[in-house]
Amino acid sequence: MVRRLPLVLAAVTCLVLARAGEVVSTQAPAGDSQTVWPPRLTAPAAGDVQVLPVQGSVYMIVGAGANITVHAGSEGILLVDTGLASMSDTVLAAMKTISTRPLRYIVNTTEFEDHVGGNAAIADTGEIIPFREPNYTAGPQGALDTTKASVISYYTMFHRLAGPTGRTPKIPELGWPDNTYSIDQKRLYFNNEAVVIMHRPSNTDGNSIVFFRKSDVVSVGDLIDLTSYPVIDVSAGGSLDEFVESLNRLIDIAVPAANAAGGTLIVPGHGRIADHAEVVYYRDMMTIVRDRVQDLTKKGMTLAQVKAARPTRDWDRRYGRTTGPWTTEMFVEAVYQSLKK
Ligand SMILES: [Zn+2]
């Protein structure tokens, strides 16, 4: 019972936030012919998205692939991730129900298609703030291109997204990050708010999380996936140890309000808005799975034996999948490979 508490509290938080959203817009989120505002608490249907106010200047678009975070204010819009390519028009329409000011920045948390698919089409509709980016040179053409939004990512993500010369890149060049960083964090002051983009490796070596300091919201990408076990792409530098370390550092940032609920809010890569208690639960799950798999491999067990021991058994009903692109078995295998490294 005690273990279920964070889930219940998070659900209550969502309800309260959804009601607070009435001040934001009286329009139904785009792509939906029905009147749906204030937002429903069920997941949007396929091809449909839902706009949720998170807290402060931060909103979330759900249903276009990965969750998209929208930070809106007087200077314009910053997006965290862009969803699937096929959803770009719907995402743009939903974004405009939050603010009609120009899109200035896109931050990508990871290079997976459901996070970056919309980069090209969506960046193309924006414009940078030229005086903010004195060294801005866009793309291989080298020309100053102010007619698109600036796309920010950790540099290793850019390399994988663009791909080696001669190979087809994962997304059109227009959507490639043109504003990469290679240190621990990149900071912006945007819409009267400190926006801190932090390198926090998890399912690859190039993940970023974005901390909106005044709104007190952290958009964390795949560092948290509340719909399944997290993807760990070992070939892209994903590591379970880094994952746990990054979750611990997120716990350092997130401050709970009374009764351990609310306070700093977390926009996960997938699933509902979370809070401190939920991050702690997720960290505990990842840590226990890691320790179990480590113990089993130390005993000399093979991958098949580790899988048979079901190291994830306590969470399978919540996160487990037997079908689809990322099953429990694939997760255990990735954990095993990551620890072997
Ligand atoms: Zn994801």
Task: For 289-324, write each residue's pLDDT tens digit.
Answer: 999 999 999 999 999 999 999 999 999 999 999 999
Nearest to 296 by CA among 309, 278, 284: 309
**What is the distance in A from the centroid of ligand 1 to the CA of 135?**
31
Q: In the chain, what are the domain boundaries?
A: 2-281
Residues 247-285: pLDDT tens digits? 999 999 999 998 888 899 999 999 999 999 999 999 999
**What is the distance in A from the centroid of ligand 1 to the CA of 134?**
32
**What is the distance in A from the centroid of ligand 1 to the CA of 292?**
25
**What is the distance in A from the centroid of ligand 1 to the CA of 271?**
10
pLDDT band at 176 (very low <50, low <70, confident <90, very high): very high
**What is the distance in A from the centroid of ligand 1 to the CA of 66?**
5
**What is the distance in A from the centroid of ligand 1 to the CA of 97?**
24
Q: CA end-to-end span of the chain, whole Å?
A: 37
**What is the distance in A from the centroid of ligand 1 to the CA of 49?**
16
**What is the distance in A from the centroid of ligand 1 to the CA of 83?**
9
Is residue 177's pLDDT more than 90? yes
**What is the distance in A from the centroid of ligand 1 to the CA of 286?**
17
Is residue 47's pLDDT more than 70? yes
Cα–Cα distance measured from residue 81 to residue 227, given in angstroms and rounded to the nearest whole number: 18
Least confident of 23-37, 116-130, 274-288: 23-37
pLDDT on residue 130: 65
pLDDT band at 46 (very low <50, low <70, confident <90, very high): confident
The packing angle between helices 240-253 and 328-340, to 10°, is: 100
**What is the distance in A from the centroid of ligand 1 to the CA of 187?**
23
Tokens 């070596």 belong to 205
Phi, psi of 185 (to 5 degrees): -155, 155
**What is the distance in A from the centroid of ligand 1 to the CA of 270?**
6
169 in Cβ contact with 158 (< 8 Å): no
Secondary structure of 178-232 in the HEC alphabet?
A: CEEECCCEEEEEECCEEEEEEECCCCCCCCEEEEECCCCEEEEEEEEECCCCCCC
**What is the distance in A from the centroid of ligand 1 to the CA of 258?**
30
260 in Cβ contact with 276 (< 8 Å): yes
Which residues have CB under 8 Å from 2's CB, separation 6+? none
Average pLDDT, the chain: 85
CATH of domain 2-281: 3.60.15.10
**What is the distance in A from the centroid of ligand 1 to the CA of 132?**
30
123 in Cβ contact with 179 (< 8 Å): no
pLDDT on residue 333: 96
**Coil, strand or helix: which one is 130?**
helix
Q: Which two tokens stand for residue 143?
A: 């020309």
**Coil, strand or helix: which one is 176?**
coil
pLDDT on residue 341: 78
**What is the distance in A from the centroid of ligand 1 to the CA of 115?**
6
pLDDT on residue 38: 47
Nearest to 35 by CA among 47, 27, 23: 27
Share of the chain above pLDDT 90, in %: 73
Cα–Cα distance measured from residue 104 to residue 317, given in angstroms and rounded to the nearest whole number: 41
Nearest to 279 by CA among 251, 246, 314, 240: 251
